[in-house]
Amino acid sequence: VDALGTVTRQVEARSIDETFALGERLGRVLSLGDFVGLDGQLGAGKTLFSRGVARGAGVPPDDVSSPTYSIVQTYTGRLPLHHADLYRLRGEGDLFATGYFDLLESDGAMLVEWVSQVPSARPEDSVLIELEVLSPDTRRLKIFARGERSQRLVEAWLGPAPTAP
């Protein structure tokens, strides 16, 4: 285990549709209190993946945009989905002003793009997904889970981890 958590999986999405579908599958298994942080370079697919998560959580994907300027948006689906984008923030002080930490305590699931911009934004029990560009259409998702709840979320999303031979 490192600072990010246990590397539970690596998944490749070979198209835009596969990236969206992986997000949608995650959205279907999200529960109240789950936290998913996303990282990756500009254009890696964080917002596309977020739209998939939203659809899986019962939110129309067209309602979802990258909340770069509003910082946090809440969508209503089968559960409240709080979607944050920390790209423009310089630190924890900027984040306090948004009411972000109050949302962590509220009903709903959290989906946070650019979570590494403010490391304290990621709770102890959380999933972190790093999206890496392999080609114009292909992305590698490195999935880290910290805590039992987040380990269970990843298993519900992707199935049991493969066992070593």
Q: Are 138 and 12 in contact (CB under 8 A)?
A: yes
3-state secondary structure 112-128: EECHHHCHHHCCCCEEE
pLDDT at position 69: 60
Q: Are 133 and 43 in contact (CB under 8 A)?
A: yes
Q: What is the pLDDT averaged over residues 72-92?
A: 88
Biggest CA pair distance of the chain: 50
Q: Cα(27)–Cα(21) distance, rounded to whole angstroms?
A: 10
Q: What is the pLDDT averaged over residues 27-43?
A: 95
Inform me whether the pLDDT recorded for 68 exceeds 60: no
Strands 80-85 and 109-113: parallel
Residue 134 burial (CB count, 10 A):
11
Inform me whether the pLDDT recorded for 107 exceeds 90: no
Which of 127, 153, 136, 154 has its CA nearest to residue 45?
136
Helices (H), 31-71: 46-56
Residue 78 burial (CB count, 10 A):
12
Inform me whether the pLDDT recorded for 37 exceeds 80: yes
Inform me whether the pLDDT recorded for 102 exceeds 90: no
pLDDT at position 1: 47
For the ranges 86-95, 99-108, 132-141, 155-164, the maximum mean pLDDT occurs at 132-141
Percent of the chain with pLDDT over 70: 91
Inform me whether the pLDDT recorded for 38 exceeds 60: yes
Local confidence band at 106 (pLDDT 50, 70, 90 cut-offs): confident
pLDDT at position 67: 55
pTM across the whole model: 0.90
Amino acid at 56: G
